[in-house]
Structure formats: structure tokens, C-alpha cells
Amino acid sequence: METAVFNATLPSTSPFCSLSYSSSSVKRAIFPLRRSYGGKNGILQNSSIRGGSVGVSRMMTVSASVIPVVDSRTWKFGARVPTIVDVDLGDRSYPIYIGSGLLNESDLLQRHVDGNRVLVVTNTTVAPLYLEKVTEALTSGNSKIDVESVILPDGEKYKNMETLMKVFDKAIESRFDRRCTFVALGGGVIGDMCGFAASAFLRGVKFIQIPTTLMSQVDSSVGGKTGINHPLGKNLLGAFYQPQCVLVDTDTLNTLPDRELSSGISEVVKYGLIRDPEFFEWQEKNMQAMLSRDPSALAYAIKRSCENKAEVVSLDEKESGLRATLNLGHTFGHAIENGIGYGQWLHGEAVSAGMIMANDMAYRHGWIDDTIVKRSFDILKQANLPTSPPDVMTIEMFKATMAVDKKVADGLLRLILLKGSLGNCVFTGDYDRKILDETLNFFCER
């Protein structure tokens, strides 16, 4: 429950050490997105975009500041009480159920099943743990439901077209028709592949997500991004496709390896950094509780993460601008994952190092002060996450992957960088290329 001590082993040339750097050196004016509460679900209604309308201006900059979604003093709700976060997307809206033991609540699942036929898409790791339980939940008290399953090999390296075809083959061989439901049971890879399969099978069938990793619970299960990798890049093929519901049973985290837990925490930290300073402060106080898998702490972290993401996605489903801010550290992180090979580092590990790099860049621009740099570093370190890229990463490896990043528009790479006080960031192509080079030089040996 305590804030970690500043790590003194950083290289002396690191800006992380320049703690005397004055906050008055934030040289550029900040034009935050001002939020006013109102309307359905208290979703923010007004936003101002600097530099042009969303998705139009080449040099568009989106900034966001935040009023906390929930008073952080109320976080100690019982983990056994299911909580619902609503993702508000008009006729594609859906609920996220969060709680302990939800896989025993068969009604929760069954109310979202379309038709009588269900295809559970899972992997070799998760199937032995939860496939029987999920099948039971889907069929309990309802003899009409026919459940098929397809068990894919586990791992990011199988997130490709070849594996996706196995899902299609199973559905087609089983003669599934349009009135059926796909269920994603597993982590982010399973969720992304099952969702993409559901979007494309017969041009779209219903699907439900049961994420079993913290990463997928707080990130990939919210917002409808689905897809697969291509040999030349991550998530290059896919669809925006929303599930009928997401069911997060926090009990599934009890079987999650420590490294995967930390990986998920990386995304939790991100929400605090980009838009929710109170949540970040809560994390600073409760990191140890999360790491020791305190169910209440985890349930709260998941809920608040989902609320943050749901708000952003509601405002910008197709990632015209605001939604891109959820990718703090991801451009550097994807370059790491791609450079060393998918699956070598977990996604959250790569994002952790990526956030440190992005913060370094922001600091060199004078956009954030040293306390934000230090607090980010400390919290990620405490979560046992990497704070620099692996040694094998070269400047060229970063640049090669960044050139095909999805956030490149008309040849210009746009980045998400913190700017201003904690909880503010920009999505912009208007940064200093020399400073990007400085950051890459600083973190890479060559």
C-alpha cells in the first residue's frame, strides 16, 4: 500500500534523474478537452478538438483531461456483488458484468445467446480450466442449447489467418447458421480472433466474451477491436465488432501466472496516466493489493478501467482521434513485440517499456514535469514490469515497425504523449522528430 522508492539505478543521463527540472518548463500551452457531464450514463457531451476536426486534419491533436468517473473512496465494494459497466454505442451497446463467481450464474450468459447453437472458441491452456464450467453455464436448465467448441493453440504467434480458418471450418462443418453465438473464452488473442471470426462468419453472427486474463478484462474485451496479425505487423487485419456482453469472472484470475497479472496492470496504469489521476493515485496506494490478488482491489481496478475505456469508446468507436489516446506507449510497445517476435514479451510488458519511452519523449519536449516521469516509472517498476526495451532492440527495428503502424496517416506517424498535469495527453503528429530520435538513441544501444 506504499509508494515505491525512486529507483536510483537509472543511468545518469536519463531525464528520469533530472528531478530538479522545473514544471515551469512546460513550454507549450495546453488545450484540454473540457468535459461537461450530462446525458445518458453521464458520458461527456462536449469536446473541443485542437487543430482541426477529428479524423480530418493531418496534424490533428486531441487532448483530454478528466473528472474521475467514480469517487475513489467508494472502491471497497464486495467482489461477490456483480457490477455492470455499460458500453454506450447506440444499437451496439452492451454490458460488462464484473464479479466473483459469475460463471456460476448461468442466466447471465444465457440471456445473451442468440439461437440454440453456440461455438466456444478457446485455447489449450484455458480449455482444461474453464471449458466444462462455461458449457455447464450455457446449457444449465436449457436442454435446447447445443454447444460446440474449437480449441486453438495458445499464444500470440497463432493469432493468424491459418488459425482463424480453424474457427470458420468448425462453424461451417457443424452447419451453424446465422442464428448462433460465438463465445470467446480466454485472453486477448482468443477474444480478438473469436470476435473477428464472428464478424466475418456469414457476414456477422453474435458473440460473447469471457475474458480470463486481467489484460483482456481491462483492455481487449472493451471496445470491439478484433483481428489477427500479419507476418509484417500486429493486428493489421480485423474488424470493429461489438459483443453482446462481456462476462468478467474475477475468480479466473486465480489461475493467472504472475507475469500475466503484471501485464494487465500495465494497461490499468495507462488509464490513470492518460485520463484519470485519481485512479492513478488509488493504484499507487493499492498496487500491493492488486499484486497479491485481493479480489476487491482487482474488481475495482477492472471496473474503473472498463469505465474509462467505455467512455472513450462511446465517444469515438472507430478511433478517429480520442480513442487513439488509449494507445499510450503502444507504438513503441508494438515495435518491441514485432522486433523480438510476438509472444516473447507479453503485451503489457512491451506497453510498459513503451510508456516509459513515450514519457521520456514528452519530458524532452517539456510537456510533462519530472514528477510524472518518476511516478510512472515507480508504479510500473513496483508492478514488476519492464521500464526499458530489451537490449536487442535497435533504432532501426523501432523505425521499421513504426513506419507501418496503424496510426500513420499520409506517411506521418502520430503518437500519444502525456502533456500537462497528470491525466492529460495528446494524440499528435506535431512533435519534434529530433526528440523522437533522441529518445530512441537513449533507449537503444545502436
Which residues contribute to the site for its own copies (CB under 8 A)? 115-116, 161, 165, 168-169, 172-173, 175, 177-179, 196, 199-204, 225-227, 230, 232-233, 235-240, 318, 403-404, 406, 408-411
Closest distance between its own copies and the C-beta of residue 296, in Å? 36
Task: Respond yes or no: is residue 319 known to be catalytic.
Answer: yes
Q: Which of 334, 365, 407, 414 is catalytic?
A: 334
Task: Respond yes or no: is residue 285 known to be catalytic.
Answer: no
Task: Respond yes or no: is residue 309 known to be catalytic.
Answer: yes
In contact, 86 and 311? CB cutoff 8 Å: no
DSSP 247-286: EEEGGGGGGS-HHHHHHHHHHHHHHHHHH-HHHHHHHHHH
CB nearer its own copies, residue 138 or residue 265: 138
Q: Which of 112, 270, 304, 323 is catalytic?
A: 323
Q: How far apart are CA 383 and CA 402, in angstroms?
A: 27
CB nearer its own copies, residue 133 or residue 406: 406
The CA–CA distances, whole Å, from 70 to 28, 73, 203, 230, 276 equal 31, 8, 38, 39, 10
- Give which of 273, 308, 274 is closest to 283, Cα–Cα: 273
Closest distance between its own copies and the C-beta of residue 195, in Å? 11
CB nearer its own copies, residue 115 or residue 155: 115
- Rounded to the nearest 5°, which phi and psi values hold at 252? -65, -20
Q: How far apart are CA 395 and CA 352, in angstroms?
A: 18
Closest distance between its own copies and the C-beta of residue 153, in Å? 19
CB nearer its own copies, residue 137 or residue 180: 180
Closest distance between its own copies and the C-beta of residue 315, in Å? 16
- Tell me the three state secondary structure of residue 46: coil
Which residues does residue 227 pair with via DSSP β-bridges, in sequence order? 238
Task: Respond yes or no: is residue 112 known to be catalytic.
Answer: no
Write the single-letter amino acid at 233.
Answer: G
Q: Which of 225, 234, 275, 375 is catalytic?
A: 225
Task: Respond yes or no: is residue 323 known to be catalytic.
Answer: yes
Which grid coordinates are listed for 410? 499520409
- Rounded to the nearest 5°, which phi and psi values hold at 182? -95, 140
Q: Which of 27, 203, 433, 434 is catalytic?
A: 203
CB nearer its own copies, residue 86 or residue 146: 146
In contact, 214 and 263? CB cutoff 8 Å: yes
Closest distance between its own copies and the C-beta of residue 92, in Å? 12
Task: Respond yes or no: is residue 286 known to be catalytic.
Answer: no
Q: Which of 330, 365, 375, 414 is catalytic?
A: 330
What residues act catalytically? Answer: 203, 225, 267, 309, 319, 323, 327, 330, 334, 347
